[in-house]
Structures are given as C-alpha cells and as structure tokens.
Homo-oligomer: A and B are copies of this chain.
Amino acid sequence: MTDAPLDAVLSHVDAQLDASVERLFELLRIASISTDPAYAGQCREAAEWLTDELKGLGFDASVRQTTGHPMVVGHARAATGPNVLFYGHYDVQPVDPIELWANDPFTPKLGEENGRKMILARGASDDKGQLMTFVEACRAYVAVRGNLPVGVTVLFEGEEEAGSPSLKPFLESTAEELKADVALVCDTDMWDEKIPSIVTMLRGMVAEEIEITAASRDLHSGMYGNAARNPIQVLANIVASLRNPDGSVAVPGFYDDVEELAPHVKEQWQRLPFDDGTYLGDVGLAIPAGEQSRSVLEQIAARPSCEINGIIGGYVGEGFKTVIPAKASAKISFRLVANQDPAKIREAFRAHVKSLVPADCSVTFKPHGGAPAVAVPADGPFLTKALGALTDEWGEEAAIAGSGGSIPIVGDFKRLLGMDSLLIGFAQTDDRIHSPNEKYNLESYHRGIRSWVRILDALAR
C-alpha cells in the first residue's frame, strides 16, 4: 500500500472531490472572525474542528492556547525524507458591508461565474480553502498509502487577519517543535488562472517620518514671505530629491547592495504573461514611474522603491490662510530587496535629508519599523522540486514570483526557526478576499489538492 503510484493518489483526490468540498463547507460554516471578540467561540470551534480532522488523519494534533485565539499544531512524523512545516490560517475577515453579499457569507455554496465553478463564502479563498488543499492532499495519501511521503508538521493560526499578536511568542516557545527543513505557506495567488507560481521574493521595508521645523512659530506670509524659510518648501525639495529623472531612487548608496534578478528568473519574467499597460491601466495610469530601464514587473517585485505615504503642513482646511507654517512633515517608506540592510538604508536616507536642511532649520526623524527583504534562493533544491511538481500538475511552467508587499510569517520563520519558506497558493486576484462575495475557484481547490500531492511526492525524492 505504501508504494501505490502517485497516479493512484491523484485519482483518489479526483474521486473524493465532492467529499473534500463538503468538508471545506463544514469549516466555512464556522464564523471565525478574529478581529471581533464576539466571535472568539467560533475561532475556537474552527481550531477544534481542524484538530479533529488532523487527528482523523493520524496526526498528533492539539489546540494550543495563546493569549488570543488558539493555534493548531499537528505532527505526522515520517521515517525518511525531509520534514516540512505547513502554515495556513483558519480565521477570516469581517463581512461588512453585509448587504453587498449575494448569499450569507457563512452558508457556503457552489456557484458559477464566467463558466467557472466556484465556492462562495467568507474564507473560501483566504485562507480556509487554501489550507484545506493541504489537509485534503494529506488525506489522499493516508487513504491510498497509509502514510505521508515526508514528515509533516502543520501550524494553523487564528489571528492572521488581526495582526498575529500571538504568533511571535508562540514561535519562540515552540521553535524546536516546529522547526523543519522547509516551510510551506499557502496564502498566495497563482500567476493567473493557468500558471501556478511560487513566491520567492518578498520586499522588506524601512519607514520614516520626518518633520522639518523652520521658524519658532507660524508666520504671516505678508510680513515674512520671501525672507523666512518655508518648511513646506524645504520638505518639497527633500521629497523631490528622492527620485532621479530616470525614476531611480536618488538616495546615495541606495542600490549598493542590490543584486540583479537571477538570469533564469529574469528570462522567465520576459516570457510570462504580464501586461504593463493593463496593470497600470486598471488603476487609471499609463506611464511606469520607476526605473525607466526596468519592466513594471521588475519595478514592483524585484526592485527597491521609495514612496511618500503622507505629507502635511500649513493650512489644509477650507478656504485659504496666508500662513508660513513653523513645521511640515512627511511619512516616507522604502521597499527593500534582498541584501539591503534596513539600518544602512535608514542611515543613508537620514544623511541625505540632513544634507538638504538649511542651517537655520531642523529635522527630526521618527522611525516606523524596518524589516529586511526575504528571498528564497532561486535555485534551491526544494524550490526546484516544487516548481517541477506544479508544472506537472498545471501543464504550464510554474513561475517564480516576487511580492511587492511583505508577508510577516515568512520573515518570522526565517528569523525564529531558521527556515526558508515556499509560498505556494492557488488563489486568483479576483477572489474578492476581504470583500463581499469572496470566492475560490473549484479548480483552485481541486488542483490545489492535486498540486500538494505532487509537491509532497517531489520533496520526498
């Protein structure tokens, strides 16, 4: 039984799809909204439901108390092969505005949209549907072979949509128990409906708030206009100095540690379907604003950026006041890529700003956190195997992707457990996560399960 061929496991998945959907529906019926204390009971219920499922598959599983909603941890040790840690989250976003839902968000149903079948419910995609692809893949192995091809530890969190307040202390206290050879995180999108992908690059961030002070009080522009330094002008000069005319970031030394994209990834990105015009056109823009020598895809996923996230100074109410304010401030952030040191970038930024502040003005800096980028080596063995498995399942070359934003769990796994993560998900960008009428394509669910069957098989080899 343990050496049943891979195809037998996959066929079992196909044959049991309806039952797999029904099990997902059971989980979706639990309104595990983590941000609202009124749903704490439902969060616990979801954790217990998952624990029972894992126990049914032979996992040594338990609900773990935290100061917030509980974690679920389950182990299925294997005699051989690597060990993986699978992560997903059972909590969901609130459902407001409820009146925009076509169906009750916690009464899941199958629907159809543009000829595709889909599972409709809050959490269908984010993240209950995604995490259940892995549970159902494990179920197929257990049913067909009696065991899993690799050692598996599962971690299900219940506070991901609430900022994960308990995660870091929990990881610290269970580091030895959870540590594996690689983490598998299922909370991301496919490249598109046909092309699977693994996110291997997550940009880091440095955020700063700066305040320029000029005069000791607000001044009247009639009495001081021209002669008194205007802090808004100083701030604008600083902001304007942050980008070169070619779209690159102008802070000295900013690109010193930036590495070029691996040639095979860059080459793949040129082949992958991604239309710069459509990406920008969808939000009313047309001209890429970043480095002119780079594609939009590179700009958003593989290159560091500098953004002004907020600015304020002087009179901003109705009408007009001819004030020269004493102060003006801005919130500025940098997205970082692999090898950029947040502390070094922060210092380079501050030195650059200071060089532009007139001698009779002053500047204060308020740090708003910083985290390095996370990158999985583009040619690592686990990645290569997983890419191959996805390519086999979907019939399209699996893409290596970058995410412009950060996914904190990946940094935590790296820092606290010393593990790389493979971010493998089957969601689509139109899944309406966090919005009314959230959906998960039935194909995402079905072939997601099949994908994990293949990935676990590949990782064992």
* Per-position 1/0 for A109-150, Cβ under 8 A of B: 000000000000000000000000000000000000000000
Whether A369 contacts B222 by the Cβ 8 Å rule is no
Whether B286 contacts A221 by the Cβ 8 Å rule is no
Whether B311 contacts A368 by the Cβ 8 Å rule is no
Whether A299 contacts B226 by the Cβ 8 Å rule is yes
Which of A20-28, A314-322, A412-420 has 4 or more CB atoms under 8 Å from chain B?
A314-322
Whether B285 contacts A228 by the Cβ 8 Å rule is yes
Whether A291 contacts B240 by the Cβ 8 Å rule is no
Whether B222 contacts A289 by the Cβ 8 Å rule is no
| A224-246 at interface with B (beta carbon < 8 Å) | 224-230, 232-233, 235-243
Which of A11-19, A76-84, A201-209 has 4 or more CB atoms under 8 Å from chain B?
A201-209
Interface size class of A (residues with CB under 8 A): 35 or more
A268 contacts chain B at the CB level, 8 A cutoff: no
* Per-position 1/0 for A348-366, Cβ under 8 A of B: 0000000000111100000
Q: How far is the CA of A247 from the CA of B405 in the complex (A)?
A: 40
Whether A369 contacts B333 by the Cβ 8 Å rule is no
Check A226/B305 contact, CB under 8 A, given A283-B216, A284-B215. yes
With both beta carbons as reference points, the residue of chain B lying nearest to A307 in the complex is identified as B221
* Per-position 1/0 for A361-384, Cβ under 8 A of B: 100000011000000000000000
Check A283/B217 contact, CB under 8 A, given A222-B405, A236-B240. yes
Contact of A308 among B216, B238, B314, B405 (CB under 8 A): B314
Check A320/B309 contact, CB under 8 A, given A222-B403, A240-B240, A300-B225. yes
Whether A227 contacts B320 by the Cβ 8 Å rule is no
Chain B residues near A325 (CB, 8 Å)?
Answer: 309-310
Chain B residues near A405 (CB, 8 Å)?
Answer: 220-223, 322
Whether B291 contacts A226 by the Cβ 8 Å rule is yes
* Per-position 1/0 for A1-18, Cβ under 8 A of B: 000000000000000000
Check A214/B310 contact, CB under 8 A, given A226-B305, A280-B228, A299-B227. no
Chain B residues near A285 (CB, 8 Å)?
Answer: 214-215, 228-229, 360-361
Check A226/B300 contact, CB under 8 A, given A243-B233, A314-B311, A320-B369. yes
Contact of A283 among B225, B228, B310, B320 (CB under 8 A): B228
Whether B307 contacts A311 by the Cβ 8 Å rule is no
Whether A359 contacts B287 by the Cβ 8 Å rule is yes
A290 contacts chain B at the CB level, 8 A cutoff: yes
A41 contacts chain B at the CB level, 8 A cutoff: no
With both beta carbons as reference points, the residue of chain B lying nearest to A334 in the complex is identified as B225
With both beta carbons as reference points, the residue of chain B lying nearest to A217 in the complex is identified as B283
Whether A307 contacts B225 by the Cβ 8 Å rule is yes
* Per-position 1/0 for A386-419, Cβ under 8 A of B: 0000000000000000011110000000000000
With both beta carbons as reference points, the residue of chain B lying nearest to A333 in the complex is identified as B322
Q: How far is the CA of A284 from the CA of B214 in the complex (A)?
A: 8
Whether A309 contacts B205 by the Cβ 8 Å rule is no
A279 contacts chain B at the CB level, 8 A cutoff: yes
A313 contacts chain B at the CB level, 8 A cutoff: yes
Chain B residues near A227 (CB, 8 Å)?
Answer: 276, 279-280, 288-290, 296, 299-300
Whether B308 contacts A236 by the Cβ 8 Å rule is yes
- Tell me the smallest distance from the CB of A247 to a CB of chain B, in Å: 8
Whether B310 contacts A311 by the Cβ 8 Å rule is no
Q: How far is the CA of A261 from the CA of B233 in the complex (A)?
A: 27
A439 contacts chain B at the CB level, 8 A cutoff: no
Contact of A359 among B205, B286, B291, B296 (CB under 8 A): B286
Q: How far is the CA of A92 from the CA of B382 in the complex (A)?
A: 81
- Tell me the smallest distance from the CB of A255 to a CB of chain B, in Å: 13
15 extra interface residue pairs, beta carbon distance < 8 Å, beyond A221-B309, A227-B279, A227-B296:
A221-B404, A223-B300, A223-B405, A226-B299, A229-B285, A232-B310, A287-B359, A310-B313, A310-B315, A310-B321, A311-B314, A311-B316, A316-B331, A320-B331, A320-B369
A: residues with CB less than 8 A from B are 203, 205, 207, 209, 214-217, 219-230, 232-233, 235-243, 247, 276, 279-280, 283-291, 296, 299-300, 303, 305, 307-316, 319-325, 328-331, 333, 335, 358-361, 368-369, 403-406
> Could you write out 9 A-B pairs with CB less than 8 Å apart?
A207-B322, A214-B285, A215-B283, A215-B285, A217-B283, A226-B300, A226-B305, A230-B308, A310-B316
